[in-house]
Structure 1
Amino acid sequence: MDKGQNTGGLMSSAGLVRYFDAEDQRAIRIDPKTVIAVGILLGVLVQVLTFVS
């Protein structure tokens, strides 16, 4: 590649990194362990309901 050519790879992703690093104070925050627990409980519930019917 010539030195004059700009592919824009790193520069084009820099804006996305800044966007996703910014935290909104109004955003809903859920602990990852809570998400895992709800998923497991939902899976168990589906299995129980499948077994019963």
Structure 2
Amino acid sequence: MSSGQNSGGLMSSAGLVRYFDEESRNAPTMDPRTVVAFGVLLGVFVLMLNALA
């Protein structure tokens, strides 16, 4: 690496870091426990459907 380059991180991730640093005030939010509970219920539902088929 030459001495004139900035070693502040990966160039490919620079745009993503800026994108995810900003939070929209009107964005919908969900409790993480709700997401996990929904995933568990969906998994149980799929297992029940497989057992019946």
Q: TM-score range by the shorter chain?
A: 0.5 to 0.7
1:26 has 2:47 as partner: no
Say which one has the larger Rg: 1
> Cα RMSD over matched residues?
2.4
What runs of 5+ residues in structure 1 fail to find an aligned partner?
A: none
| TM-score when normalising by structure 1 | 0.68
Whole-Å separation in 2 of the counterparts to 1:11 and 1:51: 48
Cα-to-partner distance string for 1:1-53 (whole Å, 9 max, x where unaligned):
4433x04543853x643432221111110111111000000000000011011
Structure number with the higher helix fraction is 1
| TM-score when normalising by structure 2 | 0.68
Percent of pairs with identical residues: 47
How many residue pairs get matched?
A: 51
